[in-house]
Amino acid sequence: MKLYGFSASNYYNAVKHLLLAKGINFEEVKVYPNQTEEYLKIHPMGKVPALETSEGIITETDVLMRYIDRQGDESFFPSDDFKRARCEEIMKIAEIYIELPARRLSGEVLLGLPRCESAFKEARPLMQKGLKALDNLCSCDPYLMGDKMTAADILLRYVLVVAKMNASKVYAWRLLADYPKLKAWEANMAKDEISKKVDADAKAALPELMAHFNSKK
Ligand SMILES: N[C@@H](CCC(=O)N[C@@H](CS)C(=O)NCC(=O)O)C(=O)O
């Protein structure tokens, strides 16, 4: 398989983490989001990540995570129907109520664009509700759903990268300060060997990403 994207992208890294956890061989193909006709043939929205399989290319992080999980033996989604639904519920809350509002602040944080007042006003309350929901739903003992790491742990870990950075820069808000359980969970996830590798690759990719953003200003 080929994974298209760049190592400082949190969506890309959630997929990469799962590929590594599943022990699937894959090649990383570096590309930044763009709207060229050539790239739109790979990712119809011009975003990252995209995954090339033997049958064709698919996109959308949650779709990729489900597809990858069905390859190979060990699954990162619970086999019990109700628990699987809970895992998917956690993933959806993380994406819609934390990732997406946080991302509305990225123009200001990453590109130095003027503050978007509606995003500034609306993002924080939504993220607060999302965090509270996760705090209520997750045991964090030691993983979100108990003793086994699931796709929800992997996705939330990378969702928090953007959310923490943007909350800190825009609101001087330490995102997990009021959530000691999630904070301890996050610290535990950071110790995972795959997390360490993905984080090291992300760190190494940052200077080039910043240069890419600066070239767009
Ligand atoms: N819904 C997409 C979102 C992916 C996404 O927004 N990726 C970012 C990089 S982390 C991107 O490509 N941004 C460029 C853009 O939105 O045009 C997914 O789940 O994969």
**How does pLDDT run across 59-95, given as a tens digit for each residue?**
999 999 999 999 988 999 999 999 999 999 999 999 9
**Model-level pTM?**
0.97
Which residues of the chain does CATH 3.40.30.10 include? 2-74
Which residues of the chain does CATH 1.20.1050.10 include? 81-194
Q: Report which DSSP code applies to 41.
A: T
CA of 9 to the centre of ligand 1 (A): 8
Among the CATH numbers 2.40.30.30, 1.25.40.80, 2.40.110.10, 1.20.1050.10, which is that of 81-194? 1.20.1050.10
Q: What is the CATH number of domain 2-74?
A: 3.40.30.10
CA of 121 to the centre of ligand 1 (A): 22
pLDDT band at 120 (very low <50, low <70, confident <90, very high): very high
The number of angstroms, rounded, from the C-alpha of 156 to the middle of its chain's C-alpha atoms is: 6
**How does pLDDT run across 24-50, given as a tens digit for each residue?**
999 999 999 999 999 999 999 999 999
With 90 as the cut, is the pLDDT of residue 141 above it?
yes
With 80 as the cut, is the pLDDT of residue 217 above it?
no
User: Which atom of ligand 1 sits closest to the CA of residue 64?
Assistant: 20
- Per-residue pLDDT, 183: 98
> Which residues surround ligand 1 with Cβ inside 6 Å?
9-11, 33, 46-48, 60-61
- Per-residue pLDDT, 98: 98
User: Which atom of ligand 1 sits closest to the CA of residue 46?
Assistant: 17
Burial of 160: CB neighbours in 10 Å, binned 0-12, 13-18, 19+: buried
User: Which atom of ligand 1 sits closest to the CA of residue 62?
Assistant: 19
> Ligand 1, residues 11, 31, 110, 213: which to mutate, most atoms within 8 A of Cβ?
11
